Amino acid sequence: MLEKLFKLRAHNTTVRTEVVAGMTTFLTMAYIIFVNPSILASAHMDHGAVFVATCLAAAVGCIIMGVYANYPIAVAPGMGLNVFFTYTVVAKMGYSWQVALGAVFLSGVIFVLLSLFKIREWIINSIPTSLRIGIAAGIGLFLGFIALKNAGIVVGNPSPDVLVQLGDVRSPEVLLAALGFFLIIGFEAKKVKGGVLIAILIVTVLSLIFGMNKFTGVISMPPNPSAAFFKLDISGAFDVSMISVVFAFLFVELFDTAGTLMAVCQRGNLLDEKGNLPRLKKALLADSVATMIGALFGTSSITSYIESGAGVEQGGRTGLTAVVVGILFLLALLFSPLAGMIPKYATAGALFYVCTLMLSGLAHINWKDLTEAAPTVVAAIMMPMASSIADGIALGFITYTLVKVLSGRFKDISISVWCLTVLFLVRFYFA
C-alpha cells in the first residue's frame, strides 16, 4: 500500500528511511508547539485551545501534503504570520482574534483560487526579487524585536524622544533567554537534531530549578479546544479595512510557501529537468487548504517549513516523510502540561534564531543599485518600526515604484507592481 501511494522505489527510498526523515523533521520544527500558543495567547486566545489547534492543524496539513502532493514537506503555523496576527491585527489595529481568524480563512480561500487558476505563477514571477528579500528580512527583524521584548532585553523608554532602551541585563529572565539563544546557535552549528527544541526545554528546566516557574506535569489528556474551535468571524473579515490584512496574510503565505518548496526540493533533487517542481499545484493546494483548516481549528496561517530540509538531508524523498511528521504532531497533543510551562523568555531564543535565518537573504541584494537596495531597506526596517508586516510590504512597493520612476527605469516596473502600488496608495489615503 505504501509503495503504491508514495512510489518509494521510484524515489529510491525505503519505509525506514522515510520514518527516520519524518522524525528528524519533526524534532527540528517541534518548537512551534510551544511558541505558537505563547504568541497567540497575547492576542487573548486560550493557550490550551491554541495548543490543540496548532497540533491538529499541523497534523492534518502534513498528512494532506504527504498523501495528496507526495512531497516530504511538513507544514505548521508559520512564524512571522502568528506575530502579525497577534501584534498587528489584534494588538495594534484593534480587531478581535475571531475576525483575525476570519481573515486567515479568507486568505486560504484566495490562495486556493490562485493555485487553481495559475495566477500564483504570474504574481510571483512579476514581483521584484529585492522586494521578496526585503519582506523576508523585515519579518525576521519583526520576530527579533518581539523576541527581545519577550525576554526583557529591550523595554520601553518613558521619554517620548527615546522609544526603547536596554532592559536589566542582570535579570534571570534576560540571562536565561540569552542562554537559550546561545544554546540554539551552538546546537545548530554542531547539527544536533532538535537543537531548538532542546534549548527551549533546557531553559524551562532551569526556570523550574531557580523557582521562576511551577511544575504542572508533562503528559495529560489534551485541553478542551472549544475556546478556539470554529470561533472565526468570517463576516467581520469582509470589512473594507481588512483588505490589507487579508492581502498581507496571502502575500507572505504565497512567497513563503513557494520559496520553501523550491529550496527543500532542490536539496532533495526533486526538481524536474527544467528546474521546475512537479505536482506544484497539488503542493500549493495542500498548503492553502491547511491554512483554511487551521483557521477553523483556531490558529494563524499554515505554511511550509524550511526545517523540512533536515528530513530531506536524512533521505526523505516522498510524502511518507510528511505523514510521519503529521502523526508525531498528533502524539504531541498529550504534552499540553509541558507546553503550558514554557515561559516567553524560553522561546525568545528560538524567535531570534529564526530572525537570524531570515536576514540571510540580504546577502543577495545588489547594494550598488540603490533603486533595488532602497526598497529592500524600507520594507525591512518599517515592519518592526511600524509594528506591521502589512505596512512594511506597502511602503516597500511604493518606494520601489517611485525610485524606479524618478530614475527613469520604467521597464523595471511590472504591471502587477503598478497595480499593487496604486492599491497601497489608495489604502493609505483612506486609512
Residues 191-225 pLDDT 10s: 887 788 888 889 999 999 999 988 888 888 899 99
So what's the pLDDT on residue 260?
Answer: 74
Check residue 324 and give its pLDDT.
95
C-alpha angle 236-240-242 in degrees, rounded to nearest 5: 60
CB 154 within 8 A of CB 145: yes
Alpha-carbon distance of 314 to 108, in angstroms, equals 31
Output the CA–CA distances (angstroms, integers) from residue 188 to 57, 263, 346, in the order listed.
27, 19, 17
Q: At what angle do helices 129-151 and 344-358 cross, to 10 degrees?
A: 160
Chain-centroid distance, C-alpha 236: 24
The C-alpha atoms of residue 193 and residue 253 are separated, in whole angstroms, by 27
Distance in angstroms (rounded) separating the CA atoms of residues 134 and 270: 28
Residues contacting residue 332 through CB under 8 Å, at least 6 positions apart: 30, 33, 55
Q: Does 121 have pLDDT greater than 70?
A: no
Q: What is the DSSP string of 20-49?
A: HHHHHHHHHHTTHHHHHHHHHHTTT--HHH
Residue 147 to residue 153: CA distance in whole angstroms: 9
| CA–CA distance, 49 with 334 (Å, rounded to integer) | 13
Average pLDDT score, the chain: 87
What's the start-to-end Cα distance of the chain, in Å?
56
- What pLDDT, on a 0 to 100 scale, did the predictor assign at position 170? 93
**What gap in Å lies between CA 336 and CA 220, rounded to an integer?**
7
Q: Does residue 146 carry a pLDDT above 80?
A: yes
pLDDT tens digits, 388-422: 777 888 899 999 999 999 999 999 998 888 988 99
Say if CB 32 and CB 58 are below 8 A apart.
Answer: yes
At residue 125, the pLDDT reads 62
pLDDT per residue as tens digits for the range 277-310: 778 788 888 989 999 999 999 999 998 887 887 7
Q: Give the residue carrying C-alpha cell 527605469.
A: 409
Domain boundaries, the chain: 12-215+229-430
pLDDT value at residue 84: 86
115 close to 285: Cβ distance less than 8 angstroms: yes
Closest to 49 (Cα-Cα) out of 285, 312, 271, 230: 230
Residue 158: predicted pLDDT:
83
Reported as a single tens digit per residue, the pLDDT across 255-282 is 677 767 766 777 677 777 766 677 878 8
Collapsing DSSP to helix, strand or coil, 431 comes out as coil
- 41-57 burial, b at 16+ Cβ within 10 Å, e below that, comes to bbbebbbbbbbbbbbbb
Q: Give the per-residue pLDDT at 319.
A: 92
Residue 364 has pLDDT above 90, yes or no: no
What does DSSP say about strands 75-77 and 302-304: parallel, antiparallel, or unpaired? antiparallel
Q: Is the model's pLDDT at 124 over the cut of 70?
A: no
Dihedral over alpha carbons 249, 89, 134, 74 (to 10 degrees): -40
Give the span between the Cα atoms of 202 and 303, in whole angstroms: 27
Quick one: cell of 397? 512597493
Distance CA 180, CA 199 (A): 5
pLDDT of 431 higher than 70: no
Enumerate the β-bridge partners of residue 304. 75
Q: Give the Cβ contact number of residue 20 at 10 Å.
A: 17
Cβ atoms 423, 162 nearer than 8 A? no
Q: How far apart are CA 425 and CA 105, in angstroms?
A: 26
Reported as a pLDDT band with limits 50, 70 and 90, residue 95 is very high
Rg (CA), the chain: 21
pLDDT at position 274, please?
66
Residue with cell 500564483: 120
pLDDT at position 108:
92
* pLDDT tens by residue, 219-249: 888 999 999 999 999 999 888 778 878 887 8
| The predicted structure's pLDDT at residue 263 | 67
**pLDDT exceeds cutoff 80 at 16:** yes
Tally helices (H) and strands (E) across the chain.
Answer: 19, 4
Alpha helices in 228-369 (DSSP H): 243-267, 280-297, 308-313, 319-331, 336-341, 344-358
Element (H, E) at 9: none
Question: Which residues are 164's β-sheet partners?
Answer: 156
Candidate from 89-98, 155-164, 216-225, 252-261 with smallest mean pLDDT: 252-261
